[in-house]
Chain A
Amino acid sequence: MIAQKLNTKDTGKANNTALYTTGVAGEPYLTDLERTAIDHEVAQVPYKSAAVIEALKIVQQHRGWISDDSVGAIAAYLQMSPAEVDSVATFYNLIFRKPVGRHVILLCDSISCYVMKYGDLYTALQEKLNIKFGETTGDQCFTLLPNCCLGCCDHAPALMIDNDLYKDVTVAMLDCILKKYT
């Protein structure tokens, strides 16, 4: 007896045997370190998805930015869908959904720094690094981003690189500041 092959059609697409998945996709490949940190946050909230911003922060801290895969991994871990995670991730400007350089320069462009001419710093940085806002240097060292008020208006203009705050910055100081990160 010859077995009949049950192929109703040949669409070449993946075998869709899932009984409607609820959208939990993405390989759960968070590292142990990330997982432990996320677990700690999950323990403090009433349900898992409430820890999603913390999870994004944790993963970003380890990987520098949040890739589509990271979104998938976080989603799977917190029993959310990737779309739910990404909806939150894309809302916040300090969750980076694109790769950034090793160091992120956040130049304050808010009102006090405007009055104190942050524009001069921006011009100088553009020249020195050859990048505009939103861009990363060719050597992946710096990403330059505008940022709203850094809360140090009495020492405007100000900028932050990674966790370091620089106050009363002048164009002359820039070389010295940047050198620390190269």
Chain B
Amino acid sequence: MSTIYIDNKQYNVKEGKNLLEACLGLGIDLPYFCWHPALGSVGACRQCAVKVFKDENDTRGRLVMSCMENIKDGLHLSVADKTAKAFRSQVIEWLMTNHPHDCPVCDEGGSCHLQDMTVMTGHDYRRFHYKKRTYTNQYLGPLIHHEMNRCIQCYRCVRYYHDYAGGKDLNVFSAHNHVYFGREKDGVLESPFSGNLVEVCPTGVFTDKTLREHYTRKWDLTTAPSVCNHCSVGCNTIAGERYGQLRCITNRFNSEVNGYFLCDRGRFGYEFVNSANRITQPIIRNRAVEAVDEVVVMDHLKQLMNNHTVIGIGSARASVESNAALMQLVGKENFYQGISDSLRFIQKRIVEVMQSGKVQPASLQDIQQADAILVLGEDIWNTAPVMALAVRQGVMKTAAHHVLENRELPGWHDAAVRELVQQEKGFLANCTIAASPLDELSSSTVHLAPDDLARLGFAIAGRLHTSVPVVQLDSNTQNQAAIIAAALQQAKRPVIISGAGCYNEALIRAAFDIAVALNTPEHEVRLAYVMPECNSMGLAMTQSAGFENAVLRTTREENITAIVLENDLYRNVPAHIADLFFNSVQHCIVFDSLNNATTQNADVLVPAATFAEGDGTLVNYEGRAQRFYQVYMPANKNIRESWKWLQKMEEIRTAQTAEQVYHPEDLLVMCERLMPQFAGIAGAVPHHDFRINGQALPRAPHRYSGRTAILANLAVSEPKPKQDNDSPFTFTMEGYSGMPPSPLIPFFWRPGWNSIQAVNKYQQEPGGALRNEQAGTLLFEYKRDGEAVYFKDIPEAFMVRKDKWLLFPQYHVFGSEELSAYSKGVGELSPEPYLAISSRDADQLGLVDGSLVTIKVFEQAYELPVATNMLIPNGVALMPAGLQGMPAMNWNAWVQVMSVKL
């Protein structure tokens, strides 16, 4: 701690920070642009100027940029100094000389860092009366809108996109006051992290193109804290609504999971909520009028349940609450995970490993802090994008850390650190089936068939601990194993990442063995397993049987009514199995929010709320239970959380009117009762009746407009605000206006800080954890002194077969995930189907890129073009996973590939 004096007041501040961070941390409003907590300082914008004095007798002082000055004990500085203030307001005046002053039509208006700083510095009168410089804008794809004239040249976009996220196609061009930020020519931004530009850019240069289609000012949005639905990472988000439509997703900062950034799937995938494909009405099939009301459907459901065996098919994308409600309704023994058995088997292993408590799970924060990372088998770039971004930071930070050893240079001095780092990188071993953008960061890159990757993993474990038997590998792989093992051994904070993506259970074990071998006092090892969906872990933790068991049962037993919860089974199992299921059950009740192949088979179809219209809890890949909150009440009352419908059904079935109205927290208590492995989950969230000073928390900011007139087209009198009995939130701007506890932050706003930069005000220190941060509840307990156990069961080496290929999924950020694919922009970016094989295999078959082949899967043949790649192992074929309209494949199975003779 150092003592510094700001405007003659004494403060104690942490060393190693710069003066800007110190001031912001003390709650002093000091304007800035080019500095960003995640990006560090470069001193470009000159907005953060303060006066620094030699000592208490110095009255003249000198102007310095606070973001570029170290904290020194005894330092005297002034923020209020007249020349400093004048200079800061002059900086704004300069920046505004060429600015178009188009706030009324600018998407950034009302959440604009530049507006905030302009007001903060007091610049309000224009003196520059010459022509403004103007630019041409670029087409940057379906997600990001570009409006260069608003640029204030803070360089944050390039520093984020290029330096931080590693994107290659955005940069700064030209010089002097012609500098231009964009691509070298029009085109879709390549990085799947481009959406963060929207928040990183302090002005309206880069804005959310999807929001533009149904634009709403930040102050007019009704927002709630949410959790991303589009992969197993569980990034925290803020979802905003107006007029019953979901308008946008922005990042919700937290220090444990996603920090400041989201991936584009998470940010732009929300539009499925507004899709025309939504199910809005209960439907009973084969009636004159299929769409029915609640009373009719309930009555009908009662008949389907009475005198029937009712089984439930759970969902990896439905909340813990909905799954638990289903389990409660059908009974534990009648609850099945709605995923294929092969996946269930792998996920079971993951849960076992995590529950064993032998190794600590790796949060994204842990990954960012890691000094050596091994990715074994999982294509995290595409299955858990923000995790890949964290890996990049881990690699870069390690390099920075290394060059800063024995130097006085502070870590925030971004440009200087980069200069010292040059091409140096921390250790990353990326071992996957096929090439990935992570390869360019990795010191060890291995592309092998999954079994061979597992063998490599065991070989690494064997080098770290003698309990794991020696694996025979070719000399090249042997070498890699030695390098990777040595690097992990040397690391203080190694992280091992694997996952279910390859449908290979041995990988899970191998990753575990490595982590266990590293779990010695010298290392703080962390382990992560990526799973396919947002609540895969929550579903897997039920430890229920898989879908194939349910199918088996339906073929053997008569009289079964199946309830399918938010799950398109055709995405999880091959069509003939799903068909068999629907043919053998007597009745089928389906809950979902969007029409799909499964809902086609429903006898009764019940509309389910999406994450935006309901409350629920998801368990992410680390076993972190996080709550998402309803953003708005859908106008259509039939749309409600599945768990609400299921409770109703429970009442009907047991013919008891529930004495107590169930709240989400009660469901979690029930979940804990049903399944002790969920212990603690009920404590994860504040109860629905949580209040601060007797006040609920408003979802709308106090500047929300049109409250009294918003529905004037329907009725003259102002309607009674909707009541929320499930959460501490109101649907209006009334309520507690202070800072809510971190899981209940619906938006970031503080006086003078309308832009997302307001996050600073919510943090303990700039860039650090939120005040009293609780980023969910971890459900796995680490048992520090458990004895090490190893799996040791090593698979045979992969053998190429003649005329057959072992088929694996190739994931895509855009297209592989079910719900986001319904969003226009994401859909546009998703690939066409293809079959990828190694260049050598292609040569042997006489195929070139684009040649048509047929592959035979379950007696059905599919025709598709070939994509050849040098880095795919021979004998392995990849097909894009999860694309809309593509059948579910039997992954990790042999397929025949035949050239189509034209």
Question: What residues make up the interface of A, taking CB atoms closer than 8 Å to B?
Answer: 1-9, 11, 15-17, 19-24, 46-47, 68, 71, 80-87, 90-91, 93
Contacts and interface: CB of A to CB of B under 8 A. Distances in A.
Contacts of A8: 832-833, 883-886
A47 B884 CA distance: 43
Contacts of A86: 171, 173, 184
Given A6-B886, A8-B886, A86-B184, 14 more contacts: A3-B861, A5-B862, A6-B885, A9-B827, A17-B831, A17-B832, A19-B435, A20-B381, A83-B170, A83-B183, A83-B184, A87-B171, A87-B173, A93-B175
22 contacts: A5-B863, A6-B862, A8-B883, A8-B886, A9-B884, A11-B828, A15-B831, A15-B832, A15-B867, A17-B834, A19-B810, A19-B869, A20-B190, A20-B436, A46-B422, A46-B423, A47-B422, A47-B423, A68-B185, A82-B184, A87-B172, A87-B173
Nearest to A81: B168
A23 B810 contact: no
Nearest to B849: A17
Nearest to B836: A17
A35 to B, nearest CB: 22
A17 B867 contact: yes
> Mostly helix, strand, loop or mixed at chain B's interface?
loop
Nearest to A47: B423
Contacts of A21: 190
Contacts of B867: 15, 17
Contacts of B175: 90-91, 93
A56 B833 CA distance: 39
Nearest to B865: A15
A99 to B, nearest CB: 17
A91 B158 CA distance: 15
A94 to B, nearest CB: 12
The list of the 5 closest CB pairs from A to B, nearest first, reads A23-B168, A81-B168, A8-B885, A87-B171, A17-B867
B434 interface: yes
Contacts of B423: 46-47
B787 interface: no
Contact of B863 (A4, A20, A47): A4
B171 A6 contact: no
Greatest chain B CB density within 10 A among A6, A16, A20, A71 is at A6
A1 B170 CA distance: 48
B174 A20 contact: no
Contact of A71 (B184, B422, B863): B184
Contacts of A87: 171-173
A1 B864 contact: no
A68 B185 CA distance: 9
A5 B833 CA distance: 10
A91 B190 contact: no
A23 B755 CA distance: 32
B440 interface: yes
B842 to A, nearest CB: 13
Interface string B822-851: 000001111111101000000000000010
Contacts of B3: none
Given A8-B883, A23-B190, A83-B171, A15 B863 contact: no
Contacts of A80: 168
Interface in B590-611: none
B174 A91 contact: yes
A47 B638 CA distance: 62
A80 to B, nearest CB: 8
B171 A84 contact: yes
Contact of A4 (B812, B832, B860, B869): B860
A126 B374 CA distance: 65
A2 B794 CA distance: 41
Contacts of B180: 90
B168 A22 contact: yes
B571 to A, nearest CB: 13
A24 B440 CA distance: 12
> Mostly helix, strand, loop or mixed at chain A's interface?
loop
Contacts of B440: 22
A15 B812 CA distance: 14
Nearest to A89: B173
Interface residues of B, number: 53
Nearest to A16: B831
B586 interface: no
B472 to A, nearest CB: 31
B859 interface: yes
A24 B381 CA distance: 18
A4 B173 contact: no
Nearest to B864: A6
A154 to B, nearest CB: 28
B551 to A, nearest CB: 23
A19 B433 CA distance: 12
Contacts of B795: none
B434 A19 contact: yes
Greatest chain B CB density within 10 A among A3, A83, A85, A91 is at A83
Contacts of B173: 86-87, 90-91
Nearest to A5: B863
Contacts of A6: 833, 862-864, 885-886
Contact of B859 (A1, A9, A84): A1
B854 interface: yes
Contacts of B864: 5-6
B16 interface: no
Nearest to B180: A90
Contacts of A3: 854, 861-863, 900
Contacts of A46: 422-423
A89 to B, nearest CB: 8
A11 B382 CA distance: 22
B192 interface: yes
Given A17-B836, A19-B436, A68-B185, A1 B861 contact: yes
A96 to B, nearest CB: 13
A33 to B, nearest CB: 25
Contacts of A22: 168, 190, 437, 440
B220 interface: no
A93 B861 CA distance: 59
Contacts of A71: 184
A52 to B, nearest CB: 13
B169 interface: yes
B434 A84 contact: no
Contact of B834 (A15, A47, A91): A15
B381 to A, nearest CB: 7
B81 to A, nearest CB: 36
A111 B338 CA distance: 79
A133 B37 CA distance: 45
Contacts of B836: 17
A84 B174 contact: no
A55 B661 CA distance: 73
A81 B832 contact: no
A11 B760 CA distance: 43
B638 to A, nearest CB: 30
A140 B79 CA distance: 58
A7 B831 CA distance: 10
A84 B190 contact: no
A21 B167 CA distance: 10
A11 B185 CA distance: 22
Contacts of B172: 87
Contacts of B833: 6-8
A90 B178 CA distance: 10
Interface string B859-902: 11111110101000000000000011110000000000000100
Greatest chain B CB density within 10 A among A5, A15, A46 is at A15
A86 B187 CA distance: 15
Nearest to B871: A19
Greatest chain B CB density within 10 A among A47, A84, A87 is at A87
A5 B850 CA distance: 14
A9 B885 contact: yes
A23 B861 contact: no
A83 B172 CA distance: 8
Contact of B169 (A4, A17, A23, A90): A23
